[in-house]
Amino acid sequence: MAAIEARGITKRFDGGGGAAVDGIDLASTDGEFLVLLGPSGCGKTTLLRMIGGLEPPTAGDILIGGRVVTDLPPRARHIAMVFQSYALYPHMTVFNNIAFPLQAAKLPKETQKQKVGWASGILGIDHLLDRKPRQLSGGQRQRVALARALVREPNVFLLDEPLSNLDAQRRASARDELQQFQRRVGTTTLYVTHDQVEAMGMGDRIAVMDQGRIRQVGTPLEIYDDPADTFVATFLGSPPMNLIPDGASGLLFGFRPEHFVPASDATGDDAVRFPFHVHRTEYLGAERLLYGAVGETRTIARFPANADLPIHVGATSEFAVRRRDLKRFDRETGLRRDQIRGIG
């Protein structure tokens, strides 16, 4: 096992405009499941490839287990990478696919068998060893790729959107399996995704990335409850955090859709009241969304489906948000400005 660290890592591609990865400092702890979350094109894969040794950084250092590995080739880093495309060998059985790195390392046949048995047991694919990849489901293929990574007993797993070509249902169970598997083996894992639900559900911590930079690192709860800026506030959560401009002070007031309370339930001055004009409601089984506006700003509220609400579509009702649920952001920079007290 080993912690991963990036120190001032930068990548500029030849001919490219700005930096794909722009001076990132990021450290995992040993055994951690750290998720790198960000929109497509923000530099996640580039960062992962530099950690894995597939891409030389323009500046900065990579450390694995406290040792600088920046100039070491991938095989000397004792890492295992699984990418979106698993690249299994189609003509080989599952057994041979998993054993491939062991055969390449010329390990004795008996050791190969033991290790393949161990890895395929952990991943629940020991009954599939005689099959060819085309006889497997997407989820099973993904597990074969993981088993092949696991037999090398790496210090670190680097996973780049490994679940993105599974359908939604398989993805949920694969997420669960992958997380349980990581807990069992305890291998430090850096997991790349653009899917905030995946990040929230799987990560010990999440590093939120945008335009080559890390915006915030924290536990899923910290990131959700205490976003450092408007990018993080709106990238996590679906529907996203509401951001309502306050004309007087150059601030944006942020609050989550689930933090709406009917004004009648908000007494005293621990809550801020405001009029909410409801355009449309939407039932989603367990919950109900209200689409509307606060002043000129499109705003969404979320309630349990059975909540008895004082609303009419097309009309304005009074709602409130508790002060502790209200975040303040600088309108210009998007950064949190919670030191400023008083509202509107």
Site string for ligand ADP, 32-61 (x = CB under 6 A): ------x-xxxxxxx---------------
Contact 18, 202 (CB under 8 A): no
Q: Where are the alpha helices (DSSP H) in the chain?
A: 44-52, 94-104, 109-122, 138-150, 168-185, 196-202, 220-225, 230-235
CA dihedral 75, 58, 36, 193 (to 10 degrees): -80
How far are the Cα atoms of 194, 241, 242 from residue 262, in angstroms, in the given order? 34, 18, 16
Tell me the closest approach of the beta carbon of residue 37 to ligand ADP, in angstroms: 10
Task: Residue 112: name its binding partner from Mg ion, ligand ADP, none (Cβ under 5 to 8 Å by kind).
Answer: none
Nearer to Mg ion, 45 or 120 (CB): 45
Interface residue with Mg ion among 45, 97, 142, 155 (CB under 5 A) is 45
Q: Does 193 bind Mg ion (CB under 5 A)?
A: no
Tell me the closest approach of the beta carbon of residue 197 to Mg ion, in angstroms: 17
Tell me the closest approach of the beta carbon of residue 339 to Mg ion, in angstroms: 36
Tell me the closest approach of the beta carbon of residue 212 to ligand ADP, in angstroms: 7
CA-to-CA distance for 35 and 189, rounded, in angstroms?
Answer: 8
CA-to-CA distance for 160 and 146, rounded, in angstroms?
Answer: 12
Task: Residue 17: name its binding partner from ligand ADP, Mg ion, none (Cβ under 5 to 8 Å by kind).
Answer: none
- Interface stretch with Mg ion, choices 19-27, 37-45, 51-59, 166-174 (CB under 5 A): 37-45
Burial class (CB in 10 A: 0-12, 13-18, 19+), 263: middle
CA-to-CA distance for 224 and 235, rounded, in angstroms?
Answer: 10
Tell me the closest approach of the beta carbon of residue 31 to ligand ADP, in angstroms: 25
Tell me the closest approach of the beta carbon of residue 135 to ligand ADP, in angstroms: 31
Tell me which residue of 327, 322, 317 sits closest to 271, measured CA to CA: 322
Task: Residue 41: name its binding partner from Mg ion, ligand ADP, none (Cβ under 5 to 8 Å by kind).
Answer: ligand ADP
Q: Residue 248: how many CB atoms within 10 A of its CB?
A: 8
Per-residue tokens: 198 = 């995946």
Interface ranges with ligand ADP (CB under 6 A): 13, 16, 20, 38, 40-46
Interface ranges with Mg ion (CB under 5 A): 45
